[in-house]
Amino acid sequence: MDVPLPGLWHVTWPLFVSLGLSLSLHFTDAFFLSRISDAAAAAAGAINPLLGATLVLFSVVGQAGASVAGRLHGAKRYDELPLTFLVLLGFNLVAGVLISALLFALHPWVPGWLGLDGDAAAAARTYMAVLGGCQVLKAVQLAYGNMLNSRGATRWVMIEAIATNVANIGLNFALYRGWFGVPASVATVSAATMIALLFGMLFTIAVVHLKLEVRFPWRSSWAELQAALRPILKIGLPSATEPISYQIAQVVINLLVISLGARALATRTYVISFINISTVLWSLAIGVGAQIAVTHRVGAGRLEEANDAFHRALLYAVAGNGVIALLLAVFYQPLLGLLTSDPDIMRVAAPLFALGVAVEMGRAVNIVAGGALRSTGDAGYAATVAPLLMWGIGVPAAFLFGGSLGWGLTGVWVSMALDECLRGVVCYRRWRSGRWRTTSALAEARSPHLEAAG
């Protein structure tokens, strides 16, 4: 069976919708928690970078699996796909169980380590216990979602995201209105999100096995499993270094923000909520779409087409982020008014949205170029250089501008602009060097080992 290679827009627009809805889960949490109190919303904002750091591992390993599968697909080695899918699921499942257990075990202490106290600390403990303890649901869903992505079946991922968000919003609204006789609280908001994630995971599993008819080769030998896992980890583990480092950096920067007061933490939470469902969404969708389009063409040996797809994606991502960030800067007051009526939060947020134009254009280059490098096997460079820039310039600059010079949150956003733009330039120059053309070669085909092909 000769399947045509997926085009950039064909896979990107469903990804835009699905990623947007996935990111909007945090926005939905922020919205309903803000109905309870600013402290509850701020607590979620303090915990989310920590949860995000664990999700990054599942996500980048999932994308690594999709990259390997995409190259096999482009090379028409279809019989090797099910084993690749099986080892991807196995890794994410084991990692998900271990990380969920660790986060649940640590939830009584982490909020205090982050500098939270009082109501904010209590809310953070509950939020982390429920969602941190259920990270395995997202780990499995991401594994299955990337199986769909690797086949270009991104519309099913979009449908899953729609269903998950409808469930989350519906449950939160019902609980908020007291329809089940349970008062709205941090626990009910967290439980609603957990139930929605469970539903999304089961839906994605059903699509992969019932619609795409993927059958795992359960009788594969240990040697075959190791051989299939090796290229995924070769891409995935180095790829995880930068985003996990980024999330840990956000946790450290949150310590600075917490020291600025509860209002500053709430402001950062609200502003980032809007950024996540706009510019981050756009650049992530374009970036993942570019990875799918690039890896299929690399697998087929069509390197110039892969380079053209990358540059089209980069143009769309940068231009889109610039326009969206500018709109946020112009209309930030009515947007923030959906979450808070505090005039001090409005005042502090104004320069953050203005600086966001530079931050988000740099972020677009970072996401698209970094993702393309990782997907073609050139993951080590970004994994080494980007964290050095982040911790050598980004984090110290946040404490210098935001703390020592007294610029507050504005100083934090200046450091973000420096960090994102520098890392974006580094990743783009690496792509331009052409190193990815030699790292993207496929290994020799493995011997037939499957009982059934997906």
**Cα–Cα distance, 14 to 11 (Å, whole number):** 6
**Cα–Cα distance, 42 to 30 (Å, whole number):** 8
Average pLDDT of the chain is: 82
* 352-367 pLDDT tens trace: 999 999 999 999 999 9
Tokens at 227, concatenated:
């051989």
Secondary structure (3-state) at 134: coil
Task: Please give the pLDDT value at position 1.
Answer: 42
Q: How many CA atoms lie within 13 A of 387 on its CB side?
A: 17
Tokens at 429, concatenated:
């120059």
Closest CA to 432 of 321, 316, 314, 319: 314
* Total-model pTM: 0.67
> What is residue 164's DSSP assignment?
H
Residue 446 reports pLDDT greater than 60: no
**Cα–Cα distance, 199 to 214 (Å, whole number):** 20
Tokens at 60, concatenated:
């980048």
Residue 216 reports pLDDT greater than 80: yes
* 407-445 pLDDT tens trace: 999 999 999 999 999 999 999 999 998 888 876 544 444
Q: Provide the percentage of residues in the chain whose pLDDT is more than 70.
A: 91
* 156-190 pLDDT tens trace: 888 888 888 888 888 888 877 777 777 778 888 88
**Cα–Cα distance, 403 to 253 (Å, whole number):** 10
| b/e map 417-426, b = 16+ CB within 10 Å | bbbbbbbbeb
Return the amino acid letter for 216: F
Task: Please give the pLDDT value at position 326.
Answer: 94
Closest CA to 394 of 412, 417, 414, 419: 419
Q: Which residue has the higher pLDDT, 7 or 211?
A: 211
Query: Based on the number of CB atoms within 10 Å of its own CB, is 305 exposed (0-12), middle (13-18) or buried (19 or more)?
Result: middle
**Cα–Cα distance, 163 to 184 (Å, whole number):** 22
Q: How far is CA 208 from CA 20, 77, 147, 395, 453, in A?
A: 21, 19, 8, 41, 13
Residue 49, H or E segment: helix 38-74
Residue 388 CB neighbour total at 10 angstroms: 12
Closest CA to 388 of 235, 242, 248: 242
Tokens at 125, concatenated:
């403990």
Q: What is the largest CA-CA distance in the chain?
A: 66
* 239-280 pLDDT tens trace: 777 777 887 888 888 889 888 888 888 888 888 888 877 888
Residue 302 reports pLDDT greater than 50: yes
